[in-house]
Each structure stands twice: as C-alpha cells, then as structure tokens.
Amino acid sequence: MSFSIYVTGLMMGLSLIVAIGAQNAFILRQGLRNEHVFMVCLACALSDAALILLGVTSLQQIARLLPWLDPVMRYGGAAFLAWYGAKSLYSALRSSATLAALEAKTTSFRQTLATCLALTWLNPHVYLDTVVLLGTISTRYPGQQASFAAGAMTGSFLFFFALGYGATRLRPIFSRPSSWRMLETLVAFTMWIIAFKLLGGM
C-alpha cells in the first residue's frame, strides 16, 4: 500500500464530507440527544465505505448500464429531503422543549436507523461525492486505487465518529430551548437547500 496515496484519499474523503449536509446534520442531532450514536455513526461510515468501493471499482460500468438511475435518485431524494426539512422546521416552530425534555422522547433504534439510511442512500449528493468524484479521482492512481479507497474510507470513519461523539461537548449550549430551535431550523434549511440543488440538477 502506498502511504502517500492513502493520505491523499484520506484528505479527499474528509474534504468532501466536512461541509454540513443531510448526514452530518442528522449525526449532530443524534449526538446532542445522545441517542443511538454509535450505530448511526457506524451506519453512515459503512455506507460511505461501500459507496467508495463501488465508485473505485465500478463507476464506468454503472453509468453505462443504468442511465435512468440519476433522475430517479434526484427526484426521490429531493422529495425525501423536503419532507424531512418540513418535519424539522415544524419541530423548531412548535417545540419549546429543552434538550433534556427531548431526550425523554426517545426514538426507537429501528426508526432512527431507517432515517439514517434514508438520508444516506436517498441523497444523490452522496453518490456524487463518493461514487462519482472519488471514483473518478482514483483513476489517477492506476494500480494504487486500493490505497486511495482505504484512505477515503478512513476519512469517513474518523469524521462521522468525531462528529457524533464530539457533539456531546455542545450539550450545555443546547440545554436552552432557543439553541435547539436554531439547530432544527438549520437542519430544515440545509435539507431544503440540498433538495433545491437536486431539482436544479446541480
């Protein structure tokens, strides 16, 4: 394994997921609630790893065999993100609860995991970042794609777990109702912006 290419993959993987998005906003929320954090982080990291592997090994074949996949993922993902954003905004407008009260309203593990996987696999931007961009970049390193992919996968694991468990340091801030409402509003507009970009083909 080439260490320099591994580091390149690591840095590229981190650069693509560090900006707030559907996955990151959800992980942050779960971290603040201290609810199913490990499994949410693991599900996101494993999903990213699978998509990175898919992009590095099969990008050209996928584009050739499934030309209809792009519009299906784009509109389906936009609809889901629009719904999730509306749900978050409703929570922000109607709820005066603090973080402690919200923690009492726990969400089942199955429901949490289903939402996490939907935010990951129904968001075409995830495919753009992992399958298309990282898959394309990996072609610059013929014979060393495995090193690049391993680095990118490591970046996903490091970032998601750092975000999920690092959110606990923000818990004192989110003990105030106003801070939680601001987070829910940020999540809502993040989801809507991503959905708008998807519909615009960006």
- Mean pLDDT, contiguous 10-residue spans, the chain (202 residues): 86 74 82 90 95 84 70 73 80 60 66 91 80 79 89 94 87 72 78 75 48
How much is the pLDDT for 95? 59
How much is the pLDDT for 131? 83
Percent of the chain at pLDDT > 70 equals 84
Q: Model's pTM, two decimal places?
A: 0.69
Q: What is the pLDDT of residues 49-85, one digit of tens each?
A: 999 999 888 866 776 777 776 677 667 767 877 887 8
How much is the pLDDT for 1? 61
How much is the pLDDT for 151? 94
How much is the pLDDT for 19? 60
What's the CA gap between 174 and 181, in Å, rounded?
Answer: 9
Residue ranges of domains in the chain: 3-200
